[in-house]
A and B are shown apart, each in its own frame.
Chain A
Amino acid sequence: MHTKEKWPSVVIRLIIAVVIAAYVLFPFILLLINSGKETSDITSNPVSTAGASFGQLMTNIKAVINDPNFMFWRSFGSSALITVLSLVLLALFGAMAAWVICRNKTVWSTVIYFIFIASMIIPFQVVMLPLISSFRDVGKFIGIQMLQSVSGLVFAYLGFGGAMTVFILTGFIKGVPYTLEEAAAIDGCRPEQTFFQIIFPLLSPVITTVTILNGMWIWNDYLLPSMMLGQNGKVMTIPIAIQKFVGSYVKSWDRILPAALLAITPMIIIFLIAQRQIMEGMIEGAVKG
Chain B
Amino acid sequence: MGTFSTGRKVASFGSLILGLVLTIAGLGLSITGAGDLILGYSGNTPIILGRGAMFVCGIILFFVGLYLFPTLKYHRTIINIIFLFPLLFAFAVTVIIPLFLGIGYSFTDWNGIKMTGFVGLSNYTRMFKQPSFLWSILLTFLFVVFNMILVNLVAFLLALLCTSRIKGLGFFRAAYFLPNLIGGLVLGYIWQFIFSNVVTKFTGTYSMLSDTHTAFIAVIIVYIWQYAGYIMLIYITGLNTIPGDVLEASAIDGASPTQTLFNIKLPMIAPTITICTFLTLTSAFKQFDVNLALTNGKGSIDFLGNYIANGTEMLALNIYTTAVINNDYALGQAKAVLFFIILAIVSIVQVRISNKREVEL
Contact = CB atoms under 8 A, between A and B. Distances in A.
Real binding pair: yes
B99 A222 contact: no
A69 B344 CA distance: 39
A112 B84 CA distance: 10
Interface residues of B, number: 101
Nearest to B35: A143
Contact of A125 (B50, B112, B230, B316): B316
A31 B289 CA distance: 19
A161 to B, nearest CB: 9
A27 B190 contact: yes
A23 B344 CA distance: 36
Nearest to B318: A125
Contacts of B233: 279, 282-283
B80 A104 contact: yes
Nearest to A140: B30
The SS class assigned to the B binding surface is: helix
A207 to B, nearest CB: 14
A233 to B, nearest CB: 15
Contact of A142 (B51, B183, B186): B51
Contacts of B197: 42-43, 46, 253
Contacts of A25: 175, 178
A195 B75 CA distance: 14
A256 B248 contact: no
A126 B340 contact: yes
Contacts of B186: 239, 242, 260, 263-264
A13 B98 contact: no
Contacts of A93: 86-87, 90
Interface residues of A, number: 94
Given A93-B87, A127-B102, A271 B178 contact: yes
Interface in B289-341: 289, 292-293, 316, 319-320, 323-324, 329, 332-333, 336-337, 339-340
A271 to B, nearest CB: 5
Interface stretch (A58-66, A70-78, A114-122, A171-179): A114-122
Contact of A219 (B183, B248, B288, B343): B183
B229 A24 contact: yes
Contact of A223 (B35, B320, B337): B320
B1 interface: no
Contact of B183 (A115, A222, A283): A222
A195 B76 CA distance: 12
Smallest CB-CB A-B distances: 8 pairs: A159-B94, A220-B183, A144-B52, A143-B52, A130-B101, A127-B98, A158-B90, A96-B83
Given A119-B91, A145-B52, 9 more contacts: A93-B90, A97-B86, A122-B99, A123-B316, A125-B320, A130-B99, A130-B333, A160-B95, A223-B320
